[in-house]
Amino acid sequence: MKNTPPETGGFFARDRAMHPPAYTPWYKTTVLRSPQRALISLDGTKSEVTGPVFGHNMLGELDNDLILNYAKPGEMPIGQRIIVHGRVVDERGKGVSGALVEFWQANAGGRYRHKKETYLAPLDPNFGGFGRTIADDDGYYWFKTIKPGPYPWPNGVNDWRPAHIHFSVFGHGFAQRLITQMYFEGDPLIWICPIVKTIPDEEAIKRLIAPLDMAATVPHDMRAYKFDIVLRGRRSTFFENRKEGN
Ligand SMILES: [Fe+2]
């Protein structure tokens, strides 16, 4: 088993070994955007650390239903109907209540609704591909969606992204935003994806793969995938935007 830092008291040292190096040339865009100079540390301002506070009153009724939140009345997007659910927890497994969880994804054909998207798979007129929810008192969140398709991207001569959903988690301030991606159990593209392969720790990759959760399926309707988001500690989810410090 790999050496992990001891968990002592209230402080959990970050395991930097699970993070990709900033410069990973097989993921081409890292060549130009990786830092050329030593990093500097910036303190968060008061407003970054303390605000805003997200409340349920900011949510729309269909914000956690990507099947219906963009569909025309009486219509639905094409694709596999699924539920994604899990808990946002701290390093000790305690739920983070009130966390704002946002998600965005491609449609069933692997196409994003974005003006710079160039993949030839069609847009689905009934699928927007984004939503949000707020974790309950136990840190639990869930949403309905269509399983996204894999898509090719310009990197090497034939690189594909595995099916995935992007996640953003806000705690109680803008400085606490964390971003990651969820993959689906059994997808062979996960292990050959140049972006996934920048993560040097295989266990960290596995924590990004949501298992099929038959216990949470709705018979004759939807399958379910379970994705717990662990904010810190040795079982922490890998976050793309927090590569430094704790
Ligand atoms: Fe994506």
Ligand 1 center to 37 CA (angstroms): 29
Question: Which residues are within 8 A (CB) of 215 and not within 5 positions of it... i.e. 6 or more apart?
Answer: 224
Residue 1, pLDDT score: 45
Residue 244, pLDDT score: 42
Residue 116, pLDDT score: 84
Ligand 1 center to 151 CA (angstroms): 8
Active site (annotated) includes residue 166: yes
SS3 category, 142: strand
Catalytic site residue from 81, 166, 172, 234? 166
Catalytic site residue from 70, 112, 141, 183? 112
Active site (annotated) includes residue 164: yes
- Whether the bond between 52 and the residue before it is cis, its omega within 30 degrees of 0, is yes
Distances (CA, A) of 15 to 41, 58, 167, 204, 236: 18, 35, 21, 10, 9
Q: Are strands 140-146 and 81-89 parallel, antiparallel or unpaired?
A: antiparallel
Active site (annotated) includes residue 56: no
Active site (annotated) includes residue 19: no
Residue 246, pLDDT score: 37
Q: Which residues of the chain have pLDDT under 70?
A: 1-14, 51-52, 173-174, 234, 242-246
Ligand 1 center to 182 CA (angstroms): 10
Residue 242, pLDDT score: 62
- Whether the bond between 21 and the residue before it is cis, its omega within 30 degrees of 0, is no
Ligand 1 center to 105 CA (angstroms): 6
Which two structure tokens, joined as six digits, stand for 164? 């995935």
Ligand 1 center to 194 CA (angstroms): 13
SS3 category, 28: coil
- Domains delineated in the chain: 76-246 (2.60.130.10)
Ligand 1 center to 170 CA (angstroms): 19
Which two structure tokens, joined as six digits, stand for 246? 């704790």
* Rounded distance between C-alpha atoms, residue 34 and residue 21, angstroms: 9
Ligand 1 center to 128 CA (angstroms): 14
Active site (annotated) includes residue 132: no
Q: Quickly list H helices, 24-76.
A: 30-33, 46-50
Ligand 1 center to 165 CA (angstroms): 7
Ligand 1 center to 110 CA (angstroms): 9
Catalytic site residue from 19, 111, 132, 164? 164
Ligand 1 center to 102 CA (angstroms): 14
Catalytic site residue from 161, 207, 232, 242? 161
